[in-house]
Chains A and B, each alone.
Chain A
Amino acid sequence: MLPVVLGLAILGLWWGAYAAGMFPVGTVPSPVDVITAFGHELASGRLLDDTIASLYRVAWGFIGAVVFAVPLGLVVGRHARTRDALLPWINFFRSLSPIAWIPFAIIWFGVGDPPAIFIIFIATLFQVALATAAAAGSVPKIYYRVAEDLGLEGAQVLIKVTLPAILPQLVTALRVAIGVAWMVVVAAEMIAVRSGLGFLIVDARNGLRMDLVVCGMITVGVLGIVLDALFSRLARIPSVRWGFDR
């Protein structure tokens, strides 16, 4: 309830300031225009199309990255020599802003979905790999002794002990990563494609439609909250909850 009240209060302030003529012309749209723009964009179906386009890119980039990052992180976390060799490089690439990859993304993949998906992939891959490696490196030794007693060996240990042992930390890492991916997709779409919420925002700005810019920003923010809420639910899975309950 409190967030809704606060939101209405901000809306009221915004409205009041706009009505009082406190903003120079063209810098801040009126709330009425924003709401009207929302109505138009929803009715025309463009907002939905752009939202789906953005979510589609995030989904593929994110899933692709997780598929590579988790096994990579497990091996880096458990195998000392691999860790020594790869950790500095994972750190190097993690420190690079995903936006810095945009020139290559366009040269390698042209325009459309692939360059955007590639940038999401890059943005998520190194982060999740690093978080997985850190978690896998700090699994209590006692679990491995028990595993040895139980006759587990090699890949079985990785799948039956290391992976479940790091799941709570992995869930937290995925939650952070999806947030980053969602931020990055907007930036990528401003440059590499002609659809998606990022494109909607930059296209609106080019047409000096600040009401539409705000409309796009609100949509991005709301979907960010929804994605985070969905990922936070992963922590309630019974075999993950132990990491959060104690």
Chain B
Amino acid sequence: MSEILELKCVGFDYGALKVIDGLDMEVHPGELVVCVGPSGCGKSTLLSLLAGHLQPTRGTITRQGQTRTIYQDGGLFPWLTVRENIALSKSKNVDDWLQITRLGEFADHYPHQLSGGMRQRVELARALAAETDILLMDEPFSALDYQTRNRMRRELVATLAERPRTVVFVTHDIEEAVQIADRVVVLGLRPTSVRRVLDLPPGRSRNPASPGVAEAEQAIMEELGLT
């Protein structure tokens, strides 16, 4: 299987500050890879590199296809309605996406009139509607409350089951990582590189009692020095 994303010995500096150094990682088509790491370790920088918004200082990144990034908050254009925001994807099926993300009633609302969870659903719809190959998600649910966050995870998994995409998902939430990931990549302190990769048992949308979840959480905590 050819990789859709491949990073070889990637490094990135902000001036004299080494943010990423010697990072190797590959992502297979259709995979949901979650990157976890301590805050400030360069997770967002990594996504910017994957998106091509930043160029690596060292190493190479190969990317097969188009990327689309979903941000924690504020990525929607506030001067456009929900429908207009989704239509920016140039999709002909805006109505389908409104349906899938249960936003039909709110099609003519502006982002500031929606709750945080609804705004993230619009972001998701806009990104997926573009038929993009790779979805980059930068802590997309971190600004939401606990219950909404849990619901959004299930919705993401359900939407991906219907419309499969390759996803690289960055979070500081270990529980979130082990519940939705096919694979968890644990990043170390700055300058960051991959400390460990954990494969999770098949079947996304796990709950805390699902097989392998507790063990994976434990392993990540250990890796991050949290136990």
Contact = CB atoms under 8 A, between A and B. Distances in A.
B51 A242 contact: no
B77 A148 contact: no
Contacts of B80: 164, 239
A142 to B, nearest CB: 5
A149 B77 contact: no
A140 B79 contact: no
A20 to B, nearest CB: 57
A238 B110 contact: yes
Given A146-B77, A149-B51, 14 more contacts: A140-B74, A142-B71, A142-B75, A145-B51, A145-B75, A146-B69, A150-B130, A161-B77, A239-B80, A242-B78, A242-B111, A242-B112, A245-B112, A245-B113
Q: Tell me the interface secondary structure of chain A in the complex.
A: helix
Nearest to B85: A146
Interface bin, chain B: 10 to 19
A108 interface: no
Interface of A: 140, 142-143, 145-146, 148-150, 161, 164-165, 167, 238-243, 245-246
Nearest to B111: A242
A242 B67 contact: no
Contacts of B163: none
A164 B89 CA distance: 18
Contacts of B92: none
15 contacts: A142-B75, A145-B51, A145-B53, A145-B71, A146-B71, A149-B51, A150-B130, A164-B80, A165-B77, A238-B110, A240-B79, A241-B110, A242-B111, A245-B112, A245-B113
B42 to A, nearest CB: 17
Contacts of A142: 71, 74-75
Nearest to A239: B79
Nearest to B110: A242
B74 A149 contact: no
A149 B112 contact: no
A246 B111 CA distance: 10
B88 interface: yes
B216 to A, nearest CB: 31
A246 B112 contact: yes
B68 interface: yes
A146 B73 CA distance: 12
Contacts of B75: 142, 145-146
